[in-house]
Structure 1
Amino acid sequence: MATVHRTVSIDADPEEVWAAIRDWGGVHRRLAPGFVVDTRVEGDVRVVTFADGTVVHELIVSLDDDDRRIAYAVVGGSLEVVHHHASMQVFAEAGGRSRFVWITDVRPHGLAEPIAAMVDQGLQVIRRTLDAVAAPAS
C-alpha cells in the first residue's frame, strides 16, 4: 500500500475552507471546479466525475465537524483500485489562514504516482478556488 500525503496553506478562514470541503455534493462548484466537472449524491455515495473522464463512487467513512475532518473510500467507478481511503482535514493557522491536509492510502502500490498527480492537480485548483473566495473584492 502507498500513501500520498499533501499539505498546503490556504489564504482563507478555516471555517470557509471546511464549509467547502464538507459540502459533499458540491465539489464541482465549491471546492475543485474544472478539475471535478460533476458531483451527484446517491444515498450514502457521491459519484464524482473528473475532467479527464474518470468517475469514482465515494462513501463517507467519517465526518467530524469539530475536527474539520472528512474521510472517504472509493467503492466503485472507473478507477481500478483494490483499496483507496482518503481524508481531508483543515487546521487554523495564524492570520486567519488555513492548513489543508489531504492523505490518501491506495493499493496497488503502482497507483501511487498517478493518484499523487491527481491530488497535486486537485490541490492547485482547491487552493486557487478557496484563495479567491477569501480575497477582498476589488
Structure 2
Amino acid sequence: MAHIRKEFLIDNAPESVWEALRDVGAVHERLAPGFVTDTRMEADVRIVTFANGAVVHELVVDIDDEARRVAYAVVGGSMAPKHHHASMQVLAETGGRSRFVWTTDVTPDELAGPIGEMVEQGSLVMQEALNA
C-alpha cells in the first residue's frame, strides 16, 4: 500500500480553515475552487468532479470537530482504486497560522504517482484559497 503525505502552512486561523474543510459539500467553492469543479452530496457520499474530468465518489467517513479532521474513502467513480482512504486535518500553528495535513493510503502502489500529483496540485490550490 502506498502512503502519500502532504503538509503545508496557511496564513489563516485554524478556525477559518476548519470551517472551509468541514463543509464537505462545497469543496469546489471553498476548499479547492478550479481544481474541483463540482461537488454534490448523496447521503454520506460526496461526488467530486475534478477539472481534468475525473469523477470520484467519496464516502465521508468522519467529520471530527474536536480534532479538525475529515476522513473519506473513494468508493467509486472514474478513478476508483482498489483501496483509497484519506484524511485532511487542520492544526494550530504559532502566530494564528494553520498547518494543513493531507494523508492518503492507496492500492495498488502504481497509483501513488498519479494520485500524488493530484495531491500536489490540489494542495497548491487549497493553500491559495485558504490563505485568502
TM-score w.r.t. structure 1 length? 0.94
Structure 2 counterpart of 1:81: 81
User: How far 1:62 moved relative to its partner?
Assistant: 1.5
* 1:5-20 matched pairs, under 5 angstroms: 5-20=5-20
Structure 2 counterpart of 1:97: 97
Q: Distance in 2 between matches of 1:78 and 1:117?
A: 17
TM-score w.r.t. structure 2 length? 0.98
Q: Mind listing any 5+ residue stretches in structure 1 that lack a counterpart?
A: 133-138
Bigger radius of gyration among the two = 1
User: How far 1:60 moved relative to its partner?
Assistant: 1.1
**Equivalent pairs: percent with the same residue?**
64
Q: Secondary structure at the match of 1:41?
A: strand
Q: Is 2:2–2:108's contact at 8 Å kept on the other side of the alignment?
A: yes
Q: Distance in 2 between matches of 1:128 and 1:80?
A: 27
* 1:1-138 matched pairs, under 5 angstroms: 1-132=1-132
Q: Which contiguous aligned blocks of 4+ residues in structure 1 show a shift greater than 3 angstroms?
A: none
User: How far 1:88 moved relative to its partner?
Assistant: 0.3
User: How far 1:80 moved relative to its partner?
Assistant: 3.6
Q: Mind listing any 5+ residue stretches in structure 2 that lack a counterpart?
A: none
**Number of matched pairs:** 132
Cα-to-partner distance string for 1:53-91 (whole Å, 9 max, x where unaligned): 000000111211000001100010000400000000010
